[in-house]
Amino acid sequence: MGAIFGLSVGREGPSVHVGASAAQPVARRIADDELEERILITSGAAAGLSAAFSAPISAMVFALEEIHHSFSEYVLIAGLASAVAADIVASLMFGTVPVLDFMPVPDFGLEIYVWIIPCGVMAGGLGCLMNRSYIGVRDLFRRIPVRYVLPVAFLIALPVGLFMPDAIGGGEDLVALAEKAEVGLLFITTLLVVKLVFSCTSFGSGVPGGIFMPILAIGALGGSALGLVMVEFGMPEQYVCNCVVLCMAGALASSLRTPVTAVLLVTEMTASLVHLLPLAICVLVAYAVSGLLRTRPIYRLLLTDLVERNPRITEESGKKLSQLIRENSDSE
């Protein structure tokens, strides 16, 4: 619904929910115990993310790193199998073109690695700013009667769509605009501010939608703006595109607090391995900056809001997956 009205939401959130929801009735029929049922539902969620981004490895790691916050060979095997199957089906239907079709990204020479540090700092700050801005907007919306929250969010989308149409939707077009950096620093910075505020008002309203793509778009705009600034201080101009890719991964790692998922997701989405090592360095810097700023993971914030609105979720959540695995191992 949010995407129809132009709100700043992506398609990956609903895809994960649809995947998990589709897996749940199947799991209840074929699973022998609660452990198998939970793993099958997790596999459905991984398949949904894989289909949305054509990123099966990232979807599997997301299931480990974000959904269960622990390593499990059960989730690893089941999640990878479902993610690969979903990616094959999506590729047969929609083709194999990467979700983000980047221009050729030049490889970093060792002498350029020093420019990765500012990208990591920028990305870490953007992720923290995104999460804290969301908290502020959420608290502001709580002062408004519930029946007016969504209309207010839609009214905010109206002027954004009229005067800054590039900022509506998930943000794929913004990433393409950021990598080319042809519109100038002032316009890029304006888009960054508008996209960040608009994304927070969209999610603060509670409208269903994905948050991955808006965060990636914010990171891309921040990387483009930083790249243009660093060119003035001696960085070769052709590396502005690299700054966009690096800050995308760093902002995602900072906001979600999932560094491995961030590196793999951006690598798979851009279908390029030439920047894997710089990506890892940038993500580690961004993750450290995010930790120093005491950033709370965005999904943890969203879950907290959901539980506060519906306390029965905690009561009906059951045992943790790690506890079910231990009990299953003990019974064997």
Query: Which residues does the chain have with pLDDT short of 70?
Result: 1-6, 96-106, 108, 272, 274, 306, 308-332
Q: How many CB atoms lie within 10 A of CB 76?
A: 14
How many Cα atoms within 13 Å fall on the side-chain side of residue 332? 6
Q: Cα(250)–Cα(244) distance, rounded to whole angstroms?
A: 10
pLDDT tens for each residue of 258-302: 888 888 888 887 776 767 888 899 999 999 999 999 888 887 877
Q: Cα(101)–Cα(91) distance, rounded to whole angstroms?
A: 15
Predicted confidence at residue 97, as pLDDT, reads 67
Predicted confidence at residue 229, as pLDDT, reads 92
Predicted confidence at residue 1, as pLDDT, reads 47
Single pTM value for the model: 0.86
Mean pLDDT over each residue of the chain, to the nearest integer: 82
Predicted confidence at residue 203, as pLDDT, reads 81
